[in-house]
Copies of this chain bind each other. A is one copy, B any other.
């Protein structure tokens, strides 16, 4: 059966050249980059080459890159690390309603420690209003954390404008660029961010490597204490294999980005057009144009996302859903709800995230297998029954 992987937002497929580099490093064997001997110096060289490549992807200086084990850890280091570093300056932090749990949950921890957090809302496209961020600033505000792009609905936020209004108020901006970096052009200086999180598995690198950009002059208190790796900002023997993979993936993303995103956009638009034509009662979610190139996010009314996902899986198609039933907490995606999507409609959430391997044949295949699945589930659905009766009446 055809295997179509359209869940690159959960973890991208590995770039063949990244896999190749990692395989060759596996064969070579890697020592500890802190060691003074030859094998250690070679390991250090691999580490610093990767750092340079990741810095290059986002216009940063190498020493501004702190490697972590995931995007989640990078967000934790940014949020808790800056909160601890600046707690004597103030205890107020700004964020948005649609951040990832790796931003929201650390903030909840901080609230329990006496920090206060203001969450700015989003519009129906999932866009944060820079003016709302500006209004949220108090004399106590130490930083804001707003995502550059949302991984569930694909919306790209006006980070440059948000950084602009915050700069006037001398508030640092951390951007969770995990879903964005490597997929759209991201330059820390153009954006004006003080800190920014990335994750290799979002741009065809491996899981196991993330990075936090920390602008020179911005302080973060380490969240993992021990040795003096990563300039004293993150202890622990480095996962050099994953880090080297991240570096290579960053280099390739920078090089191949225009080509990749053109292809992704046209395939994504083709899939969107086919599905909206062949399936009725589909709601597109997220911003219609200001969005990640490979992301198609929608809600199929009268059916539940997990059921569609499982039937698609039986046809070899891998996607994700933000329905309550697919989440471990049994709550519908807070992102969809924050955008004002009706809770019942949100149950039909599906996210198709295309990657560099996606082909026209994949799109054709999904466009072919999806409508009968929806139809079958709707035939089973007591909600659709009502609608079809209403339509008939």
Contacts and interface: CB of A to CB of B under 8 A. Distances in A.
Q: Which 5 A-B pairs have the closest CB atoms?
A: A208-B239, A102-B226, A69-B69, A72-B236, A70-B236
Given A207-B240, A207-B241, 11 more contacts: A10-B34, A11-B237, A23-B23, A32-B201, A36-B309, A69-B208, A207-B239, A208-B208, A208-B241, A209-B239, A228-B329
A316 interface: yes
19 contacts: A10-B32, A11-B35, A23-B23, A23-B26, A36-B313, A38-B313, A38-B318, A39-B318, A69-B70, A72-B226, A75-B226, A76-B235, A100-B226, A101-B226, A101-B235, A102-B236, A206-B241, A207-B238, A208-B239
B236 A69 contact: yes
Given A35-B318, A309-B37, A69 B239 contact: yes
A26 B11 contact: no
Residue among A14, A201, A235, A329 with the highest chain B CB neighbour number at 10 A: A235
A14 B31 CA distance: 10
A210 B237 CA distance: 10
Contacts of A101: 225-227, 235
Contacts of A108: 225
Nearest to A80: B225
Interface in A220-256: 223-228, 235-242
A106 interface: yes
Contacts of A26: 14, 19, 22-23, 26
Interface in A4-49: 5, 7, 10-11, 13-14, 19, 22-23, 26-27, 29-32, 34-40
Interface string A274-318: 000000000000000000000000000000001001101100111
A183 interface: no
A236 B313 contact: no
Interface residues on A, range: 35 or more
Contact of A235 (B37, B40, B102): B102
A61 B70 CA distance: 26
Contacts of A228: 328-329
Contacts of A102: 224-227, 235-236
B242 A208 contact: yes
Residue among A3, A26, A102 with the highest chain B CB neighbour number at 10 A: A26
Contacts of A333: none
A349 interface: no
A199 interface: yes
A306 B207 contact: no
Interface string A58-74: 00000000001111110
